[in-house]
A and B are shown apart, each in its own frame.
Chain A
Amino acid sequence: MNGAGGAELLYLYALVRADEAMRALEGDAPNGIGEQRVHAIAECDLAAIVGPVPAAEFEEAPLNASLSNIDWLAPRAAAHQHVNALVSERTSASLPLSFGTVFRSEDSLRGLLRARATELIERLDAVRGCSEWVVTVSRDSERAEAALAEHDPELARARTELEASSPGRRYLLERQMSELRRRALRVADAEATREIGEAASRTARRMYAEPLVAAAESGAQLIARSSALVDRAAESQFWDALEDVGARWRARGYDVERSGPWPPYRFGGTTARGVVA
């Protein structure tokens, strides 16, 4: 199978209940990394969806060395997601694994499934019937400031005063004005985050506030990012709620985007205790 004939590792894509493994792989069983066929290994009511990968690439040292190489990562990450997307669509619940989870042998994988079966089945039950969505709120500072200038009474007053001022006072007033504007933006950011979060929470089963990664300063400023676990049956309500609140905030210079449906990468790996409701 492996043209290079090198040593192989067992790559673990997802876990499902054993009685759903057939359904996950029926028909056109998805191909995984390196176009290798995936198959199921069943143990203790669980089934692991696995496929072979070359050890030369997925041993710890080469794997970590390759991760920041986008040309290496992109097709493999896409294959990981492709398998997980199909498995998730075809089953009532699946647990996607983190990228790069490999085993040296089928025996060690079986041992792990036996040792952690109870906990893993609980995790599966916690995401049954659900998909994961990522909700991102960003601020277009130019639009947001324009909206504030129009609607914020304090800023409007400051502007009138500024326009009527002598050149000597102008500098001071301009500085006061930019401080006012900064403060008003912070208040609006917090309000947008809260309102949009509340709108998402109304239909989501669970929410998780994602950490923000400092983005390069460009036009759009990332304000908030959360993961939401949403019942597949309630997806359209979830979208409607986001579109409603999104339309209101768009007028104020804030954009709401959603990405999904994802297999529950975030919630499959998070215990209920660790989740911010």
Chain B
Amino acid sequence: MTGEPHLIPGLGPEQHGLGSLLPGMAEGLHDNEFSLLELADRLLNRGVVIAGEATISVAGVDLVYLGLNVVLTAVENLRPENVPPRTG
């Protein structure tokens, strides 16, 4: 594959609000485009967890993940009202 950056819908520096995340989620993500929920799932408490005095671990990860899941589901359920009108 190329060095093209992985696209993360709505996670650019200018737009990281929840609303902008959802179109990607609702349309079905293409490979290489990840939702915040997927990111949280992979990044939090995954990878090599290094324990030692010099490192700081992330606590309460399951709760964070659950919380995100609930928030994202709730916002997604609100979505039908927010669907942009079709052009024309």
Contacts and interface: CB of A to CB of B under 8 A. Distances in A.
Interface of A: 12, 15, 27-28, 35, 58-60, 63-64, 67-68, 70-71, 73-75, 77-78, 80-82, 85-86, 89-90, 95-105, 108-109, 111-112, 116, 120, 123, 132, 134, 213-216, 218, 257-262, 265-266, 268-269
B47 A81 contact: no
Contact of A104 (B54, B68, B71, B73): B54
Interface string B24-63: 0000110110101011111111111110111111111101
B40 A112 contact: no
Contacts of B18: 70
Nearest to B54: A108
B3 A218 contact: no
Contacts of A58: 56
Contacts of A258: 31
B61 to A, nearest CB: 8
A112 B42 contact: no
Given A64-B58, A215-B69, A97 B48 contact: yes
B34 A81 contact: yes
Query: Chain B contact residues: over half helix, strand or loop, or mixed?
Result: loop
B54 A96 contact: no
B8 to A, nearest CB: 5
Contacts, number: 157
Contact of A70 (B13, B28, B54, B68): B68
Contacts of A78: 8, 11-12, 16, 39
B47 A82 contact: no
A28 B43 CA distance: 24
Given A75-B13, A98-B46, A260-B31, 5 more contacts: A12-B50, A74-B11, A218-B77, A259-B29, A259-B31
Contact of A90 (B3, B54, B64): B3
B86 interface: no
A97 to B, nearest CB: 5
Interface of B: 1, 3, 5-6, 8, 10-13, 16-18, 21, 28-29, 31-32, 34, 36, 38-50, 52-61, 63-71, 73-74, 77
Question: Which of A15, A59, A103 neighbours the largest number of chain B CB atoms within 10 Å of its CB?
Answer: A103
Contacts of B43: 77, 80-81, 98-99, 265
A265 B46 contact: yes
Nearest to A15: B48
Contacts of A123: 48
B36 to A, nearest CB: 5
30 contacts: A59-B56, A60-B57, A63-B56, A64-B60, A68-B68, A75-B13, A77-B11, A80-B43, A89-B3, A96-B47, A97-B48, A98-B48, A98-B57, A98-B58, A99-B44, A101-B55, A101-B56, A102-B55, A104-B54, A108-B52, A213-B65, A216-B69, A216-B74, A216-B77, A218-B73, A259-B34, A265-B47, A266-B42, A266-B46, A269-B48
Question: Which of A75, A86, A266 neighbours the largest number of chain B CB atoms within 10 Å of its CB?
Answer: A75
A186 to B, nearest CB: 23
Given A70-B36, A97-B48, A82 B67 contact: no
A8 to B, nearest CB: 14
A67 B18 CA distance: 15
